[in-house]
Homo-oligomer: A and B are copies of this chain.
């Protein structure tokens, strides 16, 4: 499954491209479909597990995450995906939301951001938000990097 990564990424990117830009005539059904395409483009073609579990008991919250957060915001064309992911990682780390930071850092790795760039964003967070938030984020990144390495056949590093 990890073999044809470039192909899968191209496919995912196409899904997003196909998903039309937000428009006033869009139905919520279309916005959710666009959000689903965004997640798959960031998540190796897979849906988001947390989102799917939330759907059972908190359907509105799952729909809002999918249609608004992903379908409306994350699908906007004015910012490239790399920059949006790095800015999101900075924002989640600065407000102390390390679990969300870890998810979005994973998406960033999936679309080609390097481990190094993620570390640099975390170093930067010491300035606006202090050392505890940067250190907590570094620990979540360490976990993420370790999970990725143990999940990969050779167990090596993805990027410097």
Contacts and interface: CB of A to CB of B under 8 A. Distances in A.
Interface of A: 22-29, 31-32, 50, 54, 57-58, 60-61, 64-65, 68-69, 72-74, 76, 78-79, 82-84, 86-97, 99-100, 116-117, 119-135, 138, 141-142, 145
- Which applies to chain A's interface (DSSP): helix, strand, loop or mixed? helix
B84 A120 contact: yes
Count this chain's copies in the assembly. 6
Contacts of A87: 86-87, 89-90, 121, 124
A80 to B, nearest CB: 9
A128 B96 CA distance: 10
B124 A91 contact: yes
